Amino acid sequence: MTDLSPILEQADKNLTASLERLFELVRIPSISTDPAYKAECRKAGEWLVAELNGLGFTASLRDTPGHPMVVAHHEAGRPDAPHVLFYGHYDVQPVDPIELWENDPFDPKVKDIGNGRKVLTGRGTSDDKGQLMTFVEACRAYKEVAGSLPVRITILFEGEEESGSPSLKPFLEANADELKAEFALVCDTSMWDTQTPAIAATLRGLVGEEITVFAADRDLHSGLFGGAAANPIHILTTALAGLRDETGRVTLPGFYDGVEETPENIKASWETLGRDAKTFLGEVGLSEPSGEKGRSVLELTWARPTCEVNGIWGGYTGEGFKTVIAAQASAKVSFRLVGEQDPDKIRESFRAYIRSKIPSDCRVEFQEHGASPAIQLSYDSPVLTKAKAALSDEWPKPAVVVGMGGSIPIVGDFQTYLGMDSLLVGYGLIDDRIHSPNEKYDLNSFHKGIRSWIRILAAL
Amino acid sequence: MTDLSPILEQADKNLTASLERLFELVRIPSISTDPAYKAECRKAGEWLVAELNGLGFTASLRDTPGHPMVVAHHEAGRPDAPHVLFYGHYDVQPVDPIELWENDPFDPKVKDIGNGRKVLTGRGTSDDKGQLMTFVEACRAYKEVAGSLPVRITILFEGEEESGSPSLKPFLEANADELKAEFALVCDTSMWDTQTPAIAATLRGLVGEEITVFAADRDLHSGLFGGAAANPIHILTTALAGLRDETGRVTLPGFYDGVEETPENIKASWETLGRDAKTFLGEVGLSEPSGEKGRSVLELTWARPTCEVNGIWGGYTGEGFKTVIAAQASAKVSFRLVGEQDPDKIRESFRAYIRSKIPSDCRVEFQEHGASPAIQLSYDSPVLTKAKAALSDEWPKPAVVVGMGGSIPIVGDFQTYLGMDSLLVGYGLIDDRIHSPNEKYDLNSFHKGIRSWIRILAAL
């Protein structure tokens, strides 16, 4: 194997400039769920195209019905080298509640948080701009020192990951020949802890639904109509409350079809990781696992399905009080899926259940917000084994193979449309507050993340 | 009795000018619940003081810790005439959702709605600016023709009725000698229908509560934490759903203490009014009574207590989807009370119930939004009998004595602090959309309302 020291040293030397490039990207508020930021999403894509072209990739922006894709290609130094597809996303989550941010989410800073730890503040520093830039900067260092790349690389950056990736499947289908590689590298996951890199082998799927219950044709005065007129907030809260029983199980018929119990040996390996309710929930001010009774927090978040209400609104929500019976009430509901759970069947079961709770003189409307099945990757493929060794060389502790609670639908889409598996490596940390105010990325995640990719690219 | 014809004719002649005065008052956006409109509330009070002084009253604005009171006095033409206190409120409800208004809520218009019916559009045209101005304009016509008033009148207009009247009780207590009369006239209620005036003899009380459930110390990613971390929306919706059982009864311990069944003869008189679920609910696009099973809509809205969620909010409520587990969730909840139900005990019972539903690692905060017991007035006092006859002279059909679903806490306060009963006469209609977008007041309500007060004042 090549001596990697000069390349790793080059990455070290580049760090200040690498950071400045990441910050340029973070300063673009590419919030994909909010149409007001459409132009900013495009700008982030254009910025990436320019960067990649500057690095010697052949990069272009590809229009979709939604936000554009960034696609880039680079040949390997050796003709027999493998071909990999690297995936990341340049879009970010909304920033509300904005008043809880300590720093402007789109004016990133390096902040010393004590104990020798420095972090990069801002929306997207971790999810996923910081993560994808580790790969871009790894390619830069490699080329600057070796003059070439050790593998053939295709890059795909999308701009709709945070809004359910509506354009992704058609794009993969239409461009399968161009995008297909031997396997994919996906950088949108976390480390086990600050010392221990992780490779994710299972990912929960997701079904997103929005429901609106309609009752009277106008808001009503609760004095005049209260007691006689249907209140859509009652209908909605009662229906939502009935989704779980007292043991925390989801009550929808057929919900657990395709959910397997986790093998004992896997559960045993998770036990050794030392993450329990106290440490995991304690970090966010909680202490009691809230889901299915009698299961560990790792099982609950990696291997069990959930039903969560992500948002609810209806009636008067301003200052003071208004004795109103609302005309409508809404909620956003999501299900995390595991094993072989079928997203479409769960959506159907949910809708049938909700409809059964709507009085005959009221009605309900549903809006779909994405669906993806869960993913289970092999625990012992050659690619995973090589990456595990490369990561273990870079970090203080050896890499671990873990489950992931979140959905990365792209992994399923790569299987379906391009016939390839993915290797999930990322350098986020559990306290990165992704999707929340005060998102950050450790400087160490960024720096050693770049170095990790150099090692992985060489190992492949 | 005096021949009232010239006075009634004067009211007819004044109508255009009377309307213009009402519109001046409606144009002042005196929303009492929203601190942003504090100056506008004061302006509405000042406008009324000027009007009343112009009419020969001795009127002044009285400061309170909240919005100011308007107090005015006028002697009767005869020294042996009774002394009455007239009550109304110059504050109005918020206007959201503003996009549902067909006309600017603070730019009132006369609008022809067909079938010979004209209405006055705008927030407060009915509740309560239009109503209180019927009395002011009746006094004007009386004075212009008779040169004096037939009874001694004290006027009290408050500016906090829509926000729970926090300053009212202390004000009544501090100014009891000045305000006490033989009885009160309260103009904040509705007609039975466009042909039939009504006098209200029962009013439901109200307890208002706002609750906020707190879980994690920040918003969480539902992928990372879902299934393990407490979701405050689940806790809130489950607690709220448990407030009513399947028969529509409220489940709080002790809730029905002090609730008497309505006497059969009263229920029988209500049966003759011809308002059933179909006509009452049909008007707002509904058909099924939603409260306690097996009771008529009149019983449900006049004689039974309720629990209503008036607003709920938590998590992500914007466009698209955000897979967040919120840090907190809130609801505004109100109870309508009847008979001898004790507002304080019901608040305590509600809070104890909610607390029992909060997991040990979460917490709840309560905010009080007013409390008033229900009112039951005499069905056969001399004042009521005289007013009933006077109203029956003015309108096509005789006046009826009814119950009211809404709370008018002032009636209880007048009993408690000034030791006097109230006569509840108003000219609103059920389709006035008070508290909702597109509030209106029938031109007929305004015009014949003025004439009705002239007749009532003479009869007293």
The 8-class DSSP code of residue B68 comes to P
Four-residue CA torsion sign, A424, A428, A432, A435: negative
> Does residue B443 fall inside a structural domain?
yes
pLDDT for res A230 = 96
Final residue of a structural domain among B340, B356, B372: B372
pLDDT for res A381 = 82
pLDDT for res A2 = 65
Supply the range of the domain harboring residue B315.
205-259+305-372
- Most B CBs within 10 A among A225, A235, A306, A330, hence the mutation to make, goes to A225
ipTM of model:
0.71
- Do both B322 and B405 map to the same domain? no
> Does residue A299 fall inside a structural domain?
no
- Do both A118 and A226 map to the same domain? no
Q: Which of B223, B290, B313 sits opposite A406 (nearest CB)?
A: B223
- Does the distance separating the beta carbons of A430 and B318 come in below 8 Å? no
Final residue of a structural domain among A338, A372, A406: A372
pLDDT for res A1 = 52
The CATH number for A11's domain is: 3.40.630.10
- Does the distance separating the beta carbons of A329 and B308 come in below 8 Å? no
Q: Which of A226, A315, A331 sits opposite B301 (nearest CB)?
A: A226
- Do both B253 and B378 map to the same domain? no
- Does the distance separating the beta carbons of A233 and B238 come in below 8 Å? no
> Does residue A395 fall inside a structural domain?
yes
User: Is residue A208 a contact partner of residue B321, using CB atoms and an 8 Å limit?
Assistant: yes
User: Is residue B193 a contact partner of residue B352, using CB atoms and an 8 Å limit?
Assistant: no
- Does the distance separating the beta carbons of B204 and A223 come in below 8 Å? yes
Least Cα distance to B357 among A285, A297, A246, A354 occurs for A246
- Do both B175 and B227 map to the same domain? no
User: How far is the alpha carbon of B437 from chain A, nearest alpha carbon, in Å?
Assistant: 8
| pLDDT tens by residue, B197-250 | 999 888 899 999 999 999 999 999 988 899 999 999 999 999 999 999 999 999
pLDDT for res B1 = 52
The CATH number for A215's domain is: 3.30.70.360
- Does the distance separating the beta carbons of A361 and B222 come in below 8 Å? no
pLDDT for res B268 = 83
> Does residue B360 fall inside a structural domain?
yes
User: How far is the alpha carbon of A97 from chain B, nearest alpha carbon, in Å?
Assistant: 9
Q: What single letter denotes the amino acid at residue A226? A: G
Q: Which of B216, B229, B334 sits opposite A222 (nearest CB)?
A: B334
Which residues of chain B have a CB within 8 Å of the CB of A287?
360-361
- Could you say which residues of chain A have pLDDT below 50? none
- Do both A161 and A89 map to the same domain? yes
- Do both B167 and B19 map to the same domain? yes
- Do both B195 and B246 map to the same domain? no
- Does the distance separating the beta carbons of B284 and A229 come in below 8 Å? yes
Task: Please give the angle made by the CA atoms of B234, B237 and B243, to the nearest 5 degrees.
Answer: 140
Final residue of a structural domain among B337, B372, B407: B372
Which residues of chain A have a CB within 8 Å of the CB of B313?
312-314, 317
Q: Which of A304, A309, A360 sits opposite B231 (nearest CB)?
A: A309
> Does residue B159 fall inside a structural domain?
yes
> Does residue B452 fall inside a structural domain?
yes
- Residue B142 vs residues A446, B9, B55, B184, B409: alpha-carbon distances, Å: 84, 10, 11, 19, 30
- Could you say which residues of chain B have pLDDT below 50? none
- Does the distance separating the beta carbons of B310 and A325 come in below 8 Å? yes
Nearest residue of B to residue A329, measured between CA atoms: B312
- Does the distance separating the beta carbons of A94 and B322 come in below 8 Å? yes
How many interface pairs between A and B have CB atoms less than 8 angstroms apart? 364
- Do both B56 and B151 map to the same domain? yes
- Do both A446 and A359 map to the same domain? no
Which residues of chain A have a CB within 8 Å of the CB of B326?
310-311
User: Can you read off the two tokens belonging to residue A440?
Assistant: 């950050």
pLDDT for res B2 = 65
- Do both A99 and A162 map to the same domain? yes
| pLDDT tens by residue, B12-50 | 999 999 999 999 999 999 999 999 999 999 999 999 999
- Does the distance separating the beta carbons of A334 and B323 come in below 8 Å? yes
- The three-state secondary structure class of B355 is helix
Which residues of chain B have a CB within 8 Å of the CB of A306?
222, 226-227
> Does residue A295 fall inside a structural domain?
no
- Number of domains observed in the structure of chain A: 2
- Do both A157 and A14 map to the same domain? yes
- Do both B128 and B210 map to the same domain? no
- Residue B391 vs residues B81, B384, B398, B424, B457: alpha-carbon distances, Å: 20, 10, 7, 12, 11
- Does the distance separating the beta carbons of B242 and A301 come in below 8 Å? no
